[in-house]
Structure formats: structure tokens, C-alpha cells
Structure 1
Amino acid sequence: MIHRFILSAVLPLTFLMSPNGCQPEYVNNSRIYAEGKIIASNTPNIPVKLFADDILISETQTDASGNFKLGGPGTTKEKSLVLNRKIVAFSSNDPECRLAYDSLSIILPAKNIAFKFPQIQLEP
């Protein structure tokens, strides 16, 4: 009986005090931010998503002018800004941003946490 009590009291405490063993690879509560302007024939309500691997970090929709802002927890890996529409061209504050092979997203490098896209041009 005493043995069972000790296990039921100590086991939860050791689990709670363990150092983040099961959490994703977030770096000291770091954040990632992305903002920009989409140029297309129909700019309002275009879905914009921010992914790290297959994990959705943040999502939003463009306003009537095609602007968007989103942010979320950062990781130590590359992120993807997904638009699910063909990207014809874009400009960025980080020269290491690149278009994904399918042209549906922009790959964001791991070393930076704030990204500005003055212009993202989508296929009509």
C-alpha cells in the first residue's frame, strides 16, 4: 500500500519536472514573423499559411489590398510561406528566401526570424 502511494505521488512529480523532453524543437520561445503584399487579379481573402515541416505555425487571409501579417513560434529549421497559388515573382528583405519547386510556396531560411515581402506576384 505504501509502495503504491509513493509511486502515485513521485511519478507525476518527476514527469512535471523533466526538462521538456516531449516538446517540439522550439528555441527558447523564439518567434517568426512574416508580412507582405500580394499582387493578383483577386487579392482579398487569399489564404496564407506558415509551416515548419508539416506543422502549421500560423495562418491568415489577405485584406482587401492584398496585405497579410502572421507570426508564430519559431523553429531551428526552414519554414514555408504557403499560398497554394502559383507564385510568378516575389521580393524579400532576405536574399536567401527562395521559391519552392512547385512555385506554390516560398522557403524561408532558418537563420532569420522576420521576413518582409513588399511584393508577391501570383499567376492570374
Structure 2
Amino acid sequence: MKLFYHILSSFVLILIISCNSENRDNSRAYVEGKITGTQAVLSKATVSIKSDGKNVAEVIPNASGNFTLSGPLLNDSFTLVLNTKIKSFSTTKLGCTLSTDSLQIQIPVGTTYITFNEIKLE
């Protein structure tokens, strides 16, 4: 019985230690914003967070074009991906760039929270 309690207490201790919020494995990306465009374009729009080449979150904006999403960061940077070409955008952070295909916005390394004031779709 002593062995059982020893194993159980060891397991609980390991579990508590692994839940450290300062751990890099717990980093998340938080994105919120507003998409503008024609109603036909907005009704088909999806917004995703891509980190380390993998989609980690996806959302369909509401009828007004507002969206909020978050997902785990698999490396130090992430990309906001839309399924419709982006004409322009404005954000609260400097250093964001539009990809050459106009479907992705690269977010600077180290950024984990960003607000897009407006993302205009073509």
C-alpha cells in the first residue's frame, strides 16, 4: 500500500510541475479583428492560424466580419491565413507582412497577441 501512495504522489508531483505556465510548450497565439468586403465574399471567408506549417485554429467570421481565435504556437512565429485574397490590412503591431499570394499575413516573431483593425478582402 505504501508503494501505491508513493507512485501516486510522484505522479501528482510530475503533473503539477509539467503545468508550468512559463513553459515554451504552453505558448498560444491570440488573434482578433474585422474583415471587410462584399457580403458574398464575407459569407465564404475563413480565418486560420498556421504555426510551423500546421493549422492550429480556424474560425468563420460572424455576419459583421468580426472574428476571434487562438491556438497553440508550435514555434516562435505564426501566420494568419484566409481563403480569400487580402487587399490591405491595418493592425496594432508593426512588422506584419502580406504574402506574395495575398492569402497570408506573417506575424513577427515573438508576437502572441494581435488585433487587426481591418482586413480588406478583394
Question: Normalised by the size of structure 2, how large is the TM-score?
Answer: 0.75
Are 1:104 and 2:94 matched, yes or no? no
**Which amino acid counterpart does residue 71 of structure 1 have in structure 2?**
S
How much does 1:55 deviate?
0.9
Deviations 1:43-98 (A, max 9, x none): 24521111013211100000010000000112433211111211110001111111
Greater fraction helix: 2
- Tell me which stretches of 4 or more aligned residues in structure 1 moved more than 6 Å: none
Aligned to 1:53: 52
Contact (CA 8 Å) 1:76, 1:110: kept in 2 or not? no
- Equivalences, count: 100
5+ residue gaps, structure 2: 1-13
Tell me: CA distance 1:101–1:107, structure 2 relative to 1, closer, same or farther (3 Å): same
Paired-residue identity, %: 38
* Structure index of larger Rg: 1
**Which amino acid counterpart does residue 36 of structure 1 have in structure 2?**
G
> Aligned with 1:103: secondary structure?
coil
Contact (CA 8 Å) 2:78, 2:106: kept in 1 or not? yes
Deviations 1:27-57 (A, max 9, x none): 1411110000000102245211110132111
Are 1:120 and 2:122 matched, yes or no? no
Aligned residues: CA RMSD: 1.9
Aligned to 2:62: 63
**Which amino acid counterpart does residue 59 of structure 1 have in structure 2?**
E
5+ residue gaps, structure 1: 1-16, 21-25
1:34 equivalent among 6, 31, 34: 31
Q: Name the CA distance, whole Å, in 2 between partners of 1:94 and 1:66.
A: 20
> Aligned with 2:26: secondary structure?
strand
> Aligned with 1:101: secondary structure?
coil
**Which amino acid counterpart does residue 24 of structure 2 have in structure 1?**
V
Q: Name the CA distance, whole Å, in 1 between partners of 2:51 and 2:75.
A: 9
